[in-house]
Amino acid sequence: MIAPSILSADFARLGDEIAAVAGTGDTRADWVHVDVMDAHFVPNLTLGLPVVKALLKSTDVPIDCHLMIDDPDRWAIGYAEAGAYNVTVHAEAAKDPVALAKNLRAAGAKAGLSVKPGTALEPWLDALKHYDTLLVMSVEPGFGGQSFIAEVLDKVRTARRLVDTGHLKLVVEIDGGINAETIEQAAEAGVDCFVAGSAVYGAADPGKAVAALREQAARVRAG
């Protein structure tokens, strides 16, 4: 699965930018990844619920909201109620991640839990039994265009093993520095869904970039 990140898109043309990856066949994105940043949990400030609501009206591609915000227990439910397909919160910010996952699901969304590069996975394994997505950050959250941190792939391998043995039931997603040079090692580690920003929106044809990345990952996963 490929989830283009609009953090790398032209914010003056977000509707058009999403349409560029909403075509048919291999050029169609599986999800559109939307980074919500509050300038508190991370130093950057991007967009919030009003913009997400507008995006939801403009496309039928599932919206994957990544909330890099303080107090997600309070704010995340609004994104689920608005119609986001998947709402991901940070383990480092959630006060009660199990209750939050249940509330997100009750509001109609899939629930995702994200961990920063320096956050160990093991303390969150019990909580992840209540989640639909694990988002492993392969850069420090807050800014696009950073270099891929390969060390996080150990967390991907652990999650992949737990999913394959039935201990967890979730999509393993990765976000940060994913491009033609890094997607194959991430796929080999066991990633299901790849968030790609500049690798898609920096291309002349974003739809073709989606197809090329998917083909690379699929070839590795197929062995």
- Listed in sequence order, the DSSP H helices in the chain are 14-19, 49-58, 72-82, 97-106, 125-128, 153-164, 183-189, 198-201, 206-221
Q: Residues 67-81: what's their mean pLDDT?
A: 97
Q: What is the pLDDT of residue 223?
A: 75
Q: Can you say which residues are annotated as belonging to the binding site for substrate? A: 5, 66, 142-145, 175-177, 197-198
In angstroms, the CA 205 to CA 87 distance is 28
Token representation of residue 66: 């990544």
Q: What is the pLDDT of residue 222?
A: 83
Angle (nearest 5°) at CA 29 between 25 and 30: 100
Q: Can you say which residues are annotated as belonging to the binding site for a divalent metal cation? A: 33, 35, 66, 175
In angstroms, the CA 86 to CA 104 distance is 9
Question: Residues 57, 62, 66, 67: is their CA dihedral positive or negative?
Answer: positive
Q: Residues 41-45: what's their mean pLDDT?
A: 91
SS3 23: coil
Q: Can you say which residues are annotated as belonging to the binding site? A: 5, 33, 35, 66, 142-145, 175-177, 197-198
In angstroms, the CA 170 to CA 146 distance is 26
Could you read off the pLDDT of 146-167 as tens digits, one per residue?
A: 789 999 999 999 999 999 999 9
pTM given for the model: 0.96
Q: Is the pLDDT of residue 76 over 70?
A: yes
Among residues 76, 134, 61, the alpha carbon closest in space to that of 108 is found at 76
In angstroms, the CA 87 to CA 79 distance is 7
Q: What is the pLDDT of residue 144?
A: 67
In angstroms, the CA 117 to CA 127 distance is 18
Catalytic site residues?
Answer: 35, 175
In angstroms, the CA 24 to CA 49 distance is 28
Percent pLDDT > 70 in the chain is 99
